[in-house]
């Protein structure tokens, strides 16, 4: 009864999150559940941002883009490491992998099902994990790119019965976005679940998405561990808000108590998904790299040549860096910088995994990428004259404990804490135990390493520079919430990118090339940057791009009621940039690429 009162309070509190008048619990139970148990989300935007984008694209086009962002692309895009493998051999391996996965799922089905009479071959045929079509990318020049086609959205049978609602699990938005891309549900991503959930139960998975509050703020309104109850007299908080936010169903790997006691591990094994996309986590490591099509195209557009010296200014985790090095057949010098120590380690690990030796990664703030003692040194320098002051940073060797990257100091503290709790005989026993708990040596679970720090580079010392700028990332999909960005934060991104671009311009040699890219649909970070670049540096000109897959850029300007204005492209420039529309025929993320030729610089 006490629990019931807590829930009623929670419901009342959460009513403020919905602008609709919530139906009563008995009305809810009479509602057509097919409206509820489906995937039909609409993306929340900050109202001013929505107005700005609607003006930029037109209301109808923006609504299409917004809808497309809530879905994953319908295919996985794989870049074959051509230094190690052929496209044909990778296609064969992927087909074999999918058949093995189907058999694995059928065996799991046999283990968990009450009806053991169904033959394994029949289970293989009925398995929800499809063998997806695998084919070479048809774009000329990209025959080392492989597409694996997924499917969806699917209608899922959640076995809802009026008197016995499905057991449910609510996951966080980040977790749901990963699940929509093919991941499993891990314990930290679970926010809430029904009462009496046992290990092995079939559960419907929905998403807890931020809802508008009274004060114009956004909140999820779910306390982790809350119990979901649907009786005739009571419904859980956010019952209404989860309408149309069901992403599939799965089998729980732990009981309710186990889920909320644990910190890591698989929580729900997804058996039926709204979008079926093959997951290639840790599959064919070193032979393939999963990468968005526009990112692969960005490396092509840079057109790096063997023997050249290339700078990738914001490089981690190294997707484009490694694509560039591969296009150069690993011959030349690819310098990759990122401001984050751990992310530089990721670049190292990825380069090692793909067997690329032409890449050197440094920790460096790209806003200070021009060496300060060489700022006025505008004479063209050959790479050998470019003296970098680098320090091999005596970086703390980092370790992974329980999935988290920790420094040795932190690691020691953890040991001390664990010593107090655990039955371990000694620190060395605990160390062994902890090592066993560590995740495997995947690229994102670094097991420590040294990072070179560098003071910057001489002006004019690179043949080509890629600035894949940090951005609002409003092109990434699937996305279930977008209202965190305001017009002010979007403008700040634009200013930051301009400062980085200024550095790129100084570092590239006359006659060289700069490629600028973002994964956002925001014209303020795309077309406005191009305008800034062309108006500020008269020796820059837009260059033709190959291959050309994206659509034209936006022409004109934008003026808001607060007096702020933005200049975009001028007629004739629109076909020299590539804008990837998430609602377009290629079904990619939202992305933007501009390529600049660098003419003679003024003295
Ligand atoms: C869009 S991601 C780059 C993705 C990468 N190019 C790839 O293809 O894998 C942007 C990166 O910029 C880095 N970054 C942000 N501000 C930076 C700065 N001031 N200097 C260097 N790197 C920065 C972030 O750490 C992040 O890794």
What is the C-alpha to C-alpha distance for residues 577 and 592, in angstroms, rounded to an integer?
7
Of 123, 149, 175, the last residue of a domain is 149
21 contacts 228 by C-beta, under 8 angstroms: no
- Residue 461: strand, helix, or coil: coil
The Å distance, Cα 366 to ligand 1 centre, comes to 9
Binding residues: 314-320, 338, 365, 468
Residue ID of nearest Cα to ligand 1 atom 14: 314
* pTM metric for this prediction: 0.84
Same domain, 391 and 406: no
Same domain, 263 and 195: yes
Q: pLDDT at position 409, please? A: 35
Binding residues for S-adenosyl-L-methionine: 314-320, 338, 365, 468
Ligand 1 close to Cβ of residue 346 (< 6 A): no
State the catalytic residues: 519
Same domain, 165 and 263: yes
Of 133, 149, 165, the last residue of a domain is 149
In whole angstroms, how far apart are CA 464 and each of 158, 312, 378, 503, 536? 54, 9, 17, 13, 19
CATH of the domain at 17: 2.30.130.10
In whole angstroms, how far apart are CA 475 and each of 67, 89, 490, 590? 12, 32, 13, 4
Its domain, for residue 24, covers 2-31+155-273
Same domain, 388 and 406: no
The Å distance, Cα 473 to ligand 1 centre, comes to 12
Query: Which ipTM did the prediction report?
Result: 0.99
Same domain, 414 and 364: no
Ligand 1 close to Cβ of residue 467 (< 6 A): no
Residues of the chain where predicted confidence (pLDDT) is lower than 70: 1-34, 112-114, 116, 118-130, 160-165, 230-238, 374-448, 603
Ligand 1 site-directed mutation target among 77, 339, 503, most atoms within 8 Å of CB: 339
CATH of the domain at 586: 3.40.50.150
Handedness of CA 400, 402, 406, 408 (dihedral sign): negative
Q: Is 266 exposed, middle or buried (0-12, 13-18, 19+ CB in 10 A)?
A: middle
Of 238, 273, 308, the last residue of a domain is 273
53 contacts 521 by C-beta, under 8 angstroms: yes
Same domain, 541 and 470: yes
Same domain, 385 and 533: yes
Same domain, 510 and 591: yes
Number of domains in the chain: 4
Instruction: Tell me whether residue 286 is in a domain.
Output: no
Q: Ligand 1 atom closest to Cα of 466?
A: 6
The Å distance, Cα 133 to ligand 1 centre, comes to 33
Q: pLDDT at position 603, please? A: 58
Q: pLDDT at position 10, please? A: 31
Q: Ligand 1 atom closest to Cα of 366?
A: 20
């Amino acid at each position: 009864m006490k629990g019931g009162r807590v829930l009623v309070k929670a419901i009342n509190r959460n009513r403020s999150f919905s602008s609709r008048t919530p139906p009563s619990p008995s009305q809810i139970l009479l509602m057509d559940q097919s409206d509820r148990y489906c995937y039909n989300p609409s993306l929340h935007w900050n109202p001013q941002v929505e107005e700005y984008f609607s003006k930029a694209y037109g209301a109808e086009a923006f609504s299409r883009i917004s809808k497309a962002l809530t879905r994953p692309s319908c295919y996985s895009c794989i870049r074959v490491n051509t230094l190690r493998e052929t496209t044909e051999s990778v296609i064969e391996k992927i087909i074999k992998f999918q058949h093995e996965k189907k058999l694995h799922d059928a065996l799991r089905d046999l283990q968990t099902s009450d009806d053991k009479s169904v033959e394994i071959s029949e289970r293989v045929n009925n398995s929800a994990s499809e063998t997806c079509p695998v084919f070479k990318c048809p774009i000329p020049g990209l025959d080392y790119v492989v597409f694996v086609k997924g499917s969806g959205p699917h209608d899922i049978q959640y076995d809802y019965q009026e008197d016995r609602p499905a057991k449910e699990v609510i996951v966080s938005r980040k977790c749901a976005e990963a699940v929509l891309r093919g991941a499993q549900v891990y314990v930290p991503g679970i926010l809430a679940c029904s009462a009496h959930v046992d290990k092995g139960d079939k559960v419907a998975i929905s998403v807890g998405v931020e809802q508008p509050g009274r004060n114009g703020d956004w909140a999820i309104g779910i306390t982790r561990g809350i119990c979901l109850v649907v009786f005739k007299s009571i419904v859980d908080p956010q019952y209404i808000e989860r309408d149309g936010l069901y992403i599939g169903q799965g089998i729980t790997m732990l009981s309710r108590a186990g889920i909320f006691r644990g910190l890591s591990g698989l929580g729900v094994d997804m058996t039926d998904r709204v979008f079926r996309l093959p997951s290639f986590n840790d599959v064919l490591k070193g032979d393939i790299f999963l990468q968005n099509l526009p990112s692969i195209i960005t490396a092509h557009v840079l057109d790096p040549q063997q023997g050249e010296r290339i700078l990738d200014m914001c490089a981690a985790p190294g997707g484009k860096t490694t694509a560039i090095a591969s296009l150069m057949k690993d011959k030349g010098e690819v310098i990759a910088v990122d401001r984050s120590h751990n992310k530089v380690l990721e670049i190292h690990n990825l380069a090692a995994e793909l067997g690329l030796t032409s890449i050197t990664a440094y920790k460096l703030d790209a806003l200070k990428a021009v060496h300060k003692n060489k700022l006025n040194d505008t004479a063209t320098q050959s790479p050998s004259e470019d003296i970098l002051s680098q320090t091999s940073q005596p970086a703390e060797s980092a370790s992974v404990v329980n999935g988290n990257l920790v420094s040795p100091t932190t690691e020691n503290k953890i040991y001390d804490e664990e010593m107090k709790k655990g039955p371990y005989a000694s620190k060395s026993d605990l160390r062994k135990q902890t090592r066993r708990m560590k995740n495997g040596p995947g690229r994102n679970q670094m097991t420590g390493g040294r990072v070179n720090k560098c003071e910057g580079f001489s002006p004019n010392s690179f043949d080509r520079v890629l600035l894949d700028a940090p951005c609002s990332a409003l092109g990434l999909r699937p996305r279930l919430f977008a209202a965190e960005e305001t017009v002010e934060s979007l403008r700040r991104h634009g200013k930051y990118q301009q400062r980085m671009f200024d550095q790129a311009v100084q570092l590239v040699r006359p006659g060289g090339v700069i490629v600028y890219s973002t994964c956002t649909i925001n014209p303020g970070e795309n077309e406005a940057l191009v305008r800034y670049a062309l108006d500020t540096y008269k020796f820059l000109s837009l260059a033709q791009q190959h291959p050309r897959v994206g659509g034209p850029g936006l022409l004109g300007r934008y003026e808001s009621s607060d007096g702020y204005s933005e200049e975009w492209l001028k007629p004739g420039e629109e076909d020299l940039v590539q804008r990837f529309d998430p609602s377009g025929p290629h079904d990619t993320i939202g992305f933007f690429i501009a390529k600049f030729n660098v003419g003679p610089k003024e003295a």
